[in-house]
Amino acid sequence: MKLYYMPGACSMVPHTALEWTGQPYEAQAANMQLIKSPDYLKLNPQGAVPLLVDGELVLPQNVAILQYLDARFPQARLFGSDTIEGRARAWRWLAFLNADVHKAFGPVFHMPAYAKGKPEFEAAIQQAARDSIVAMLAQADAHLAGQEHLGDALSVADVYLYVLLRWCRSIQLDLGSLPRLAPFFARIGANPGVQAVIAQEGLKP
Ligand SMILES: N[C@@H](CCC(=O)N[C@@H](CS)C(=O)NCC(=O)O)C(=O)O
């Protein structure tokens, strides 16, 4: 089983999931040049990580990979529960983080072409994106008032939030109004599987 990843990208989530399975796997570091190359685009026309290759199976998209790993290695409890309801609660957060919060970072990392070179638009778009990220993370912060994890127990949804919080740190987004996120970040960052991935991807803790 081989996972293509870029250091610190959302591929950290399936990378950590692979660590949690305890099964042998190969982690293939990639960069922008590789993921836009013709050979890679044949595997994933979206030109993005993560990408999992397992024998004949060629699987992009975080949620597809995570559900595949969960089905193959149920003992790893990637969704933190054995019950349908408990797993659904973790899925709800995973979907929110992957589909909604992750997307909000788009204009922060890559200014849309239509706004480039128009400083007043660029500033407004950046600010709106940053405000939107904080507003959405407030939902996670409020939820964490009553529990240590997003789901019933530690799950891949927590790792997704951890990765997004790393991005917040890299763009110096002020999360001071969301007091549960800093301890959450420290908790998840201390997990041995997360630590192993940080080391493998050559990241700072
Ligand atoms: N919906 C995709 C999103 C994947 C994605 O956005 N990957 C980013 C890294 S976090 C990427 O590879 N971006 C390449 C690019 O910007 O062209 C998934 O969940 O797998």
Does the beta carbon of 163 lie inside 6 Å of ligand 1?
Answer: no
| Start and end residues for every CATH 3.40.30.10 domain found in the chain | 2-77
Q: Which atom of ligand 1 is nearest the CA belonging to 6?
A: 9
Distance 178 CA to ligand 1 centre (A): 26
Distance 138 CA to ligand 1 centre (A): 23
| Start and end residues for every CATH 1.20.1050.10 domain found in the chain | 84-191
pLDDT of residue 188: 98
Does the beta carbon of 62 lie inside 6 Å of ligand 1?
Answer: yes
pLDDT of residue 154: 98
Q: Ligand 1 pocket test: which of 5, 6, 10, 32 has the largest number of ligand atoms within 8 Å of its C-beta?
A: 10
pLDDT band at residue 179 using 50, 70 and 90 as cut-offs: very high
Q: What are the tokens at 197?
A: 């991935």
pLDDT of residue 175: 98
Distance 145 CA to ligand 1 centre (A): 30
pLDDT of residue 120: 86
**Side-chain half-sphere CA neighbours of 146 within 13 A:** 5
- Rounded to whole angstroms, how far apart are CA atoms 11 and 91? 17
Pairwise pLDDT comparison (178 vs 114), residue with the higher score: 178
* Each residue's pLDDT tens digit, 129-168: 999 999 999 999 999 998 999 999 999 999 999 999 999 9
List, in sequence order, the alpha helices (H) in the chain. Answer: 12-21, 32-35, 38-43, 62-72, 84-95, 102-104, 106-109, 119-143, 156-170, 181-189, 192-200
pLDDT of residue 116: 87
Q: Are 2 and 28 in contact (CB under 8 A)?
A: yes
pLDDT of residue 81: 96
Q: Ligand 1 pocket test: which of 3, 34, 49, 66 has the largest number of ligand atoms within 8 Å of its C-beta?
A: 49
Task: For the chain, give the mean pLDDT.
Answer: 97
Q: Domain 84-191 class?
A: mainly alpha
Does the beta carbon of 48 lie inside 6 Å of ligand 1?
Answer: yes
The total number of residues written for the chain in this structure:
205
CATH pick for 2-77 out of 3.10.20.30, 3.40.50.2300, 3.40.30.10, 3.90.980.10:
3.40.30.10
* Each residue's pLDDT tens digit, 67-122: 999 999 999 999 999 999 999 999 999 999 999 999 999 999 998 888 888 888 99
